[in-house]
Amino acid sequence: MRRLTIGLALLAGLASWPWVGTQAVSAVKEPAGQDSSRGTNILIVGIDSRAGLSAAEKRRLHVGGQGCDCTDVMMLVHLSEDRRRASIVSIPRDSYVEYASADGATAPPRSGKINGAFKIGRGPLAVRTVEKVTGLHIDHYLETGFTGFEQAVNNLGGATVCTDKPLKDENSGLDITAGTHRLDGNGALRYARARHINRPGDLGRVRRQQRMLADMLARLTVQGALADPVSTAHTVRRLLKTVRTDERTGLGDLVGIGWSLGRLSADRTEFATVPITDFDHRVPGVGSTLIWHEDRSRALWNALRSDLPITGDIRILPVPETRAEANPAGIDVRVDDPTVAEALRRNKFVVTDTSASAPSVRPAGPPLITYPAGREAEASTLAAALPGSHLRAVSRHDAVLDVAVGSEPVVVKTVTYDRNVAEGAPVAADHLRCAGPA
């Protein structure tokens, strides 16, 4: 009887949601000068703070050192007005932006890493700063810390992650083998925080976070945890034990959001990272920061404001004709033909010409690329520059790729490496999820 009562109450509270044929109207006043946007925008942040953690908890969570009291993870979730699409955009923590003004502040606006807005003005300033730099209105705000994230993942049944090679990061404590793994909250926290593995930095990290979230949403959907208002309310109540919200976000709001997400197929859930133009912009007193790509990021926010999909839009992230999965400038290649070696060198590959020791008679066929196992991205990039070549993985510990030119004519194509495309391109969830359950 109690479950029926809860369900009826929630259905009544959700009666204004768009999927039942009416349009919800926000009662929250738009910030001055803020563009109105269709759909619903939710800002989700994870806080990097050691406040209140005992020495034992720091060791268990592997979060030693000094916390920045800032946002470590920031994701903007856009639910379309018809609730038939979700777009989830990661905002890298080192993005260099101008902060919104604090309440009552008369001093000129300050600039810094976007994660620092929280330290200055907590959640409200983090929200207003995201609104200022994106032009989007944030309707709801969710926040958690290290222990909250750990407990939330445990309360939701763990997280599934997959990797084609071992991942180890001494800073976060991550150490997993190649394959698919079901992680508890502690392991998921280490996975989400890892920044010092291939590929290093913010973009590689947020893509891994997106993969983990995509699999969690898929598993919750399959298990029926978001199948109806009652089961969704049960899931939300578990989440709210460790996640804080703003005053505008209640149980009914989160149930509506959760139910919407549970009704979406993987190809209707999109993930992206804000496009970057400078990955190491040095600012005195701030350090190394990220500068957003002006045109691409504007196209991304305009698409969300207009309630449009962000996948497949060349305005947001044009895909090169010959795409490189890895940066040629970081790929060491040995080539036994001087002409091919020079052409690859013009393509920015780091090339050693070994033609002096090449066989006098070339083997029949196209070029053969031999590469150390685990260097698939580099081998794929080299193969793109040498179309028609054959690939062969070998067991060895160096990082050099060898090209043996065969008897067939060789065409060297120009490949284009775009880090945004390689690590943060807009993509549907079905391209991020693990192939099978752990």
CB 212 within 8 A of CB 206: no
**Per-residue pLDDT at 26 exceeds 60:** no
d(CA 165, CA 160): 15
Residue 126 has pLDDT above 90, yes or no: yes
Q: Please report whether residue 362 resides in a domain.
A: yes
Do residues 158 and 229 share a domain?
Answer: yes
- Tell me: do 284 and 380 sit in the same domain: no
- Domain shared by 155 and 89, yes or no: yes
In CATH, what number is assigned to the domain containing residue 234?
Answer: 3.40.630.190
9 is written with which tokens? 């109450």
pLDDT score recorded for residue 200: 64
Residue 18 lies in a domain: no
pTM, two decimals, is 0.85
pLDDT value at residue 105: 63
Within this chain, do residues 406 and 427 fall inside the same structural domain, yes or no?
Answer: no
Phi, psi of 128 (to 5 degrees): -65, -35
28, pLDDT greater than 60: no
346 and 276 co-located in one domain? no
Residue 97 belongs to a domain: yes
> What is the 3-state composition of the chain as percent helix, strand, coil, each rounded to the nearest 5?
35, 25, 40
pLDDT confidence of residue 290: 97
Query: Do 277 and 202 share a domain, yes or no?
Result: yes
Q: Is 51 contained in some domain?
A: yes
Distance CA 335, CA 353 (A): 5
| Same-domain status, 177 and 46 | yes
Q: Is residue 366 part of a domain?
A: yes
User: What single-letter amino acid sits at 395?
Assistant: S
Domain annotation covers residue 11: no
Same domain flag for 126 and 218: yes
Q: What confidence tens digit (pLDDT) does each residue in 289-324 have?
A: 999 999 999 999 999 999 999 998 888 988 888 989
Q: What is the largest CA-CA distance in the chain?
A: 86
Domain membership of residue 352 as a residue range: 328-417
Give the chain's radius of gyration (CA, Å): 24
Same domain, 161 and 290: yes
Q: What is the mean pLDDT of residues 359-374?
A: 91
pLDDT at 35: 52
Characterize the bridge pairing of strands 350-353 and 287-292.
unpaired
Residue 357 is classified by DSSP as: G
User: What is the rounded distance in angstroms from the CA atom of residue 304 to the CA atom of residue 39?
Assistant: 8
Based on the fold, state whether residues 312 and 339 are members of the same structural domain.
Answer: no
- What confidence score (pLDDT) does residue 104 get? 60
Mean pLDDT computed over 247-254:
93
CA dist list (Å): 219 to 38, 190, 251? 29, 20, 22
The predicted pLDDT at position 204 comes to: 86
**Whole-number average pLDDT of the chain:** 87
- What is the number of domains present in the chain? 2
- Cβ pair 217, 210 in contact under 8 A: no
Flag whether 19 is in a domain: no
